[in-house]
Amino acid sequence: MKIRKTRNIAEEQIELQMTPMIDIVFQLLVFFIMSFKIVAQEGDFNVKMPLQGDSPTTPEIMPLAMKLRLTADDEGKLTGIALNDVPFTSFTDLHMHIRGLIGDESGPGSIRETAEIELDCDYQLAYTHVIEAVTAVSGYIQNDSVIKLIEKIKFAPPTSGFE
């Protein structure tokens, strides 16, 4: 058996290579700088609230809520149109009535901003009639510009016929 010569541990010198370490640090620095996103501060609007006191309050505008009922026969054909229990013979008549209710006033606090309609359709009604109803109440085009009437349209849940 051969015995090796052991060298003294103090004689061995471990070298720490700095160049690869510096490269890695610079790569990490560049990565974090490139991936840093500057986001504008949110919520700083500098809003001045009115002082509490005897100031006259503006009347709160109640939303104009309407219910449009569309009835159909067993084949899906439209048999009736009623807005708040007032019958109409066609979607054109309904559209003209909505235009008369909403008027030309627009902007904050107007009837257009608060008006909403709920469509209550029979389950077997053909979908094209629903689209015609939405078109009649939502707005129209005049002189190449869109005039909005009612933007808040919701559907009533079906009551029967979907077993």
Evaluate whether 121 touches 70 at the Cβ level (below 8 Å): yes
**How buried is 99 (Cβ within 10 angstroms: 0-12 exposed, 13-18 middle, 19+ buried)?**
middle
Evaluate whether 103 touches 150 at the Cβ level (below 8 Å): no
| The pLDDT of residue 64 | 66
Identify the H or E element spanning 25.
helix 18-34
Question: What global pTM score does this model have?
Answer: 0.55
- Pairing of β 65-72 and β 78-83: antiparallel
Instruction: Give residues with Cβ within 8 angstroms of 39, minimum separation 6.
Output: none
Q: What CA–CA distance (Å, rounded) separates 55 from 111?
A: 25
| The pLDDT of residue 23 | 95
Please report how the helices 127-138 and 91-102 are oriented relative to each other, as an axis angle in degrees rounded to 10. Answer: 30
Handedness of CA 99, 101, 105, 110 (dihedral sign): negative
pLDDT digits (tens, 9 = 90+) for 59-88: 555 566 788 888 888 888 888 888 888 888
Nearest to 91 by CA among 125, 124, 135, 139: 135
Tokens linked to 82: 């009623």
User: Average pLDDT for consecutive 10-residue bins of the chain (163 residues)?
Assistant: 64 83 95 84 63 59 74 86 87 85 67 80 85 85 80 77 51
| The pLDDT of residue 31 | 94
